[in-house]
């Protein structure tokens, strides 16, 4: 008799059920550029809104973009395609917008600083954000969003270096991460770190400003670093990775860019 096949997304949604409640802030530190993590957020929103909950979703997408439209960020040059502008992420945004159109209380927050193409001037209305640290920009957007919707469930999907609630953000600055700022104001925040049983994610291999084709975004292997059951687990205390626990979605699949870059003629 064979073991039953476990849907890792269903297992994670089931484990996270106690956190799907008003006033809860849940931060998911993902691997950018996968099919699974945007799909998980979509499922959590589906369950929560099915119960009549108001939901706010913060995404690591530039504030200069408009939900429901594929602006310049979604069709960046290959050397800048780090997975945040994946098809899976675009699908998530579309599902969230559609859910709002259909009468559910869903708010989408594009919390990252503005996307400005290299060599292009920075619009004056975004200049003050370009001069700030990204984690501070994202934290300010999210803190304002939570304050405006105090009874909503808030879900934050960002790179795992940003969702740490202890220690630096992983950007080399030694400064606090998005998760640290959020927990200062919302002590009940739960931050979970992405875990995987291998697979791939769409990511960069090096610094995008070098112009080396080898640095272009593409499917890259994910470490098989989790001998864990599928699903989620957490405690009241943070671990050495700066998170309260983990989200294990088993083997991950890379999601390619949502838009194709077209050089200016």
d(CA 60, CA 129): 14
When divided into structural domains, the chain yields a total of 1
Give the per-residue pLDDT at 209. 44
Nearest to 132 by CA among 173, 188, 93, 79: 173
Contacts of 187 (CB under 8 A, 6+ apart): none
Per-residue tokens: 152: 């909503």
Give the per-residue pLDDT at 16. 98
Secondary structure class of 73 (helix, strand, coil): helix
d(CA 227, CA 92): 28
d(CA 109, CA 233): 26
Give the per-residue pLDDT at 169. 63
Residue 21's Cα: distance from chain center in Å? Answer: 20
**Is residue 91 within 8 Å of 37, Cβ to Cβ?**
no
Starting at the edge strand found earlier in the chain, the sheet holding 25-30 runs: 106-112, 55-62, 153-159, 25-30, 190-195, 245-248, 231-234
Is 253 domain-assigned? no
Is 260 domain-assigned? no
Is 142 domain-assigned? no
Is 141 domain-assigned? no
Q: Tell me the pTM.
A: 0.91
Is 41 domain-assigned? yes
Range of the domain at 122: 10-54+62-133+147-248
Is 140 domain-assigned? no
Give the per-residue pLDDT at 79. 80
Is 32 domain-assigned? yes
pLDDT one digit per residue (tens) for the chain, 265 residues: 444 556 889 999 999 999 999 999 999 999 999 999 999 999 999 999 999 999 999 999 999 999 988 888 998 888 888 899 999 999 999 999 999 999 999 999 999 999 887 777 788 888 889 889 999 999 999 999 999 999 999 999 999 999 999 876 666 667 899 999 999 999 999 999 999 999 999 988 654 444 445 567 889 999 887 688 889 999 999 999 999 999 999 999 999 999 765 554 4
Is 184 domain-assigned? yes
């Amino acid at each position: 008799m064979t073991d039953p096949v476990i849907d890792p997304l269903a297992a994670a949604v089931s484990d996270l059920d106690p956190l799907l409640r008003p006033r809860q802030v849940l931060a998911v530190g993902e691997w950018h550029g996968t099919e699974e993590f945007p799909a998980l957020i979509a499922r959590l929103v589906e369950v929560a809104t099915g119960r009549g909950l108001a939901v706010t979703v913060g995404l690591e997408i530039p504030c200069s973009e408009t939900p429901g439209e594929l602006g310049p960020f979604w069709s960046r040059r290959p050397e800048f395609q780090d997975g945040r502008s994946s098809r899976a992420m675009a699908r998530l945004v579309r599902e969230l917008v559609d859910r709002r159109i259909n009468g559910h209380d869903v708010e989408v927050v594009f919390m990252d600083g503005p996307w400005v193409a290299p060599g292009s001037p920075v619009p004056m209305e975004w200049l003050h954000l370009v001069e700030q640290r990204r984690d501070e920009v994202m934290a300010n957007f999210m803190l304002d969003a939570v304050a405006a919707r105090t009874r909503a469930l808030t879900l934050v999907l960002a790179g795992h270096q940003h969702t740490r609630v202890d220690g630096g953000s992983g950007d080399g600055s030694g400064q606090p991460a998005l998760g640290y700022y959020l927990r200062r104001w919302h002590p009940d925040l739960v931050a979970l770190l992405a875990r995987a049983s291998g697979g791939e994610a769409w990511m960069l291999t090096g610094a995008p400003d070098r112009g080396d084709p080898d640095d272009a975004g593409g499917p890259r292997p994910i470490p098989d670093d989790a001998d864990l059951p599928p699903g989620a687990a957490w405690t009241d205390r943070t671990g050495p990775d700066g998170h309260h626990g983990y989200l294990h979605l088993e083997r991950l699949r890379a999601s390619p860019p949502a838009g194709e870059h077209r050089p200016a003629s």
